[in-house]
Amino acid sequence: MFTRVKEAVWGTAQRWFPDRQIYHRSDGQVRYFAISTTVQISALLGATVLAGWLCFSTVSVAFHGQAMAAKEHEIELERVESHRLVAEARATEATAISLMESRMEEFDRTAYEFQMRHETLRQLVEFAEQLTGQEMEPSPALADGRILMAATPADPTPREARDPLIAIAATSSGEAEDQITYLMGEQDSVLAQAEDATEARLQNLRAVLRLTGLDLETVIAENRDTTETGGPFIPISESGAFATSSVNLDQAFSSRIARIASRLLEVEELEDFVEVGPLGEPVGDNYRQTSDFGVRIDPFNGRPTSHRGMDFAAYRRAPIEATGPGRVIYAGWRGGYGRTVEIDHGYGFVTRYAHLHEIDVRRGDTVERGQRIGGMGSTGRSTATHLHYEVWYNGSAIDPERLLRAGQYVQQG
């Protein structure tokens, strides 16, 4: 079977590719080449294989080129994407750096403001410590029992700035900004307490001194007019640590500092008056009041008369004391007043102590509140041992009761 198929195929090949001879004549000689069927078939197969290989190679090269182009396109897309990611990363980095720089600048400004606020508060405290004053009893009551002031300067109601737990959390936080923010809040709390205490002190002083019935602004102005001082006017808000232009503080904080400083100055002025004004008691021992200020019946002739002072009775030579610091401007005999001492306290106030048994001071002496200036007696136009006490303000006699009542709420010492 196989032999027949082989012979059939070989026969077909011989019919298609019979043996051929190629003749070649050169120089009178004839030569030929025989090409057998086998050679022809081999050459055909070789040519077919070569052609197939060429086609395969061409197709492979074509498809490879497309694959390479697709790969290059993919690479290009990846390159563009990588460039975009790099650009975004750089932009993000630049934004982060800018944000960090901004935060650093903000932190520096906050730290600087905190430092300035701290320095301002320190100087405010030093300024307040320079002011001198006297402790006061609880606010005086009016005749009907009403209280003039509910708060006392010695124990103002403190403000709670923050919850204690929040304060502990803030101080234990590692964030510097949180700590500065917390400390600035504490500064505000201290400032609020100082403001409350100053305002309470001021209002209490005003309430006490209002009992004198005098115009406080006029009284204070009298002292300003007689003090040997001068110089250009520079508002406190424009000087030193309180100047809004010298430190970079917010307007509210600066205004608050200036307001407290102004209140402190007013407290100082009122306390100066409390210290030097005739607010003490003229008798240094137990006494009784025997006559009021105003119109009364004269004890000698029984006719109405103007009594320009108050009378206080005690035992002979009972200590008579200066009701405020000042300078003795008269010490001697003065007509119906008998032995008399007159003291100039400043602010337009002069006190007179009459009917003394003896005088312990001389004209020109400087005395302090509570200092003995003489002994109670009955010299001059007097019916019995007593002190006639007068208070003069800018040349006019005023009721000493008002000053004595105000002095009852000023703690001596």
| DSSP track, 3-47 | HHHHHHHHHHHHHHS--EEEEEEETTEEEEEEE-HHHHHHHHHHH
The answer as to whether 104 is a domain residue is no
CATH number where 303 lies? 2.70.70.10
Let me know if residue 159 belongs to a domain.
yes
The residue with tokens 């001198």 is 132
Indicate whether 265 and 174 sit together in one domain: yes
Provide the pLDDT for residue 144.
43
Interatomic CA distance for residues 358 and 55, integer angstroms: 150
294 shares a domain with 269: no
Cα atoms in the 13 Å half-sphere on the side-chain side of 316: 4
Q: Is the pLDDT of residue 411 over 60?
A: no
Say if residue 272 is in the same domain as residue 333: no
For 193-233, write each residue's pLDDT tens digit.
Answer: 777 777 777 777 777 777 777 777 777 776 665 455 545 44
Of 217, 251, 276, the one marking the end of a domain is 276
- pLDDT confidence band for 163 (50 / 70 / 90): very low
Q: Please say which residue of 236, 254, 276 terminates a domain.
A: 276
Domain identity same for 394 and 271: no
Same-domain pairing of 271 and 320 = no
pLDDT in tens, 89-112: 999 999 999 888 888 888 777 777
Determine the 3-state secondary structure of 319 from DSSP.
strand
- Write the CA distances from 189 to 135, 161, 185, 291, integer angstroms: 24, 5, 6, 52
259/148 same-domain check: yes
Task: Determine the Cα–Cα distance for residues 399 and 395; give it in Å rounded to an integer.
Answer: 13
Euclidean distance between CA atoms 16 and 6, whole angstroms: 15
Here the tokens at position 28 are 């009178």
If you average pLDDT over residues 273-295, what whole number do you get?
A: 88
Between CA 46 and CA 56 the distance in angstroms is: 15
Claim to verify: residue 193 and residue 271 sit in the same structural domain: yes
Same domain, yes or no, for 140 and 272?
A: yes
Residue 3 in any domain: the answer is no
| H or E segment and range at residue 67 | helix 37-129
* Domain identity same for 245 and 353: no
Higher pLDDT, 291 or 238: 291
Mean pLDDT within 356-384: 94
Same domain, 269 and 297: no
The residue out of 242, 276, 310 marking a domain boundary is 276
Q: Which residue has tokens 């205004």? A: 255
How many whole angstroms separate alpha carbon 296 and alpha carbon 303? 8
Give me the percent of the chain exceeding a pLDDT of 90.
Answer: 25
Q: Is residue 29 part of a domain?
A: no
| Angle in degrees, 0-180, between the axes of helices 37-129 and 176-210, rounded to the nearest 10 | 20
- Averaged pLDDT, 247-270: 71
Rounded to the nearest 5 percent, the helix, strand and coil shares of the chain are 50, 20, 30
Indicate whether 296 and 242 sit together in one domain. no
- The answer, yes or no, to whether residue 56 has pLDDT greater than 80, is yes
Would you state the structure tokens that stand for residue 378, as one six-digit string?
């009955």
pLDDT for 265 equals 77
Q: Tell me what the pLDDT averaged over the chain comes to.
A: 76
Position 60 in a domain: no
314 in any annotated domain: yes
**Domain housing 154:** 109-276
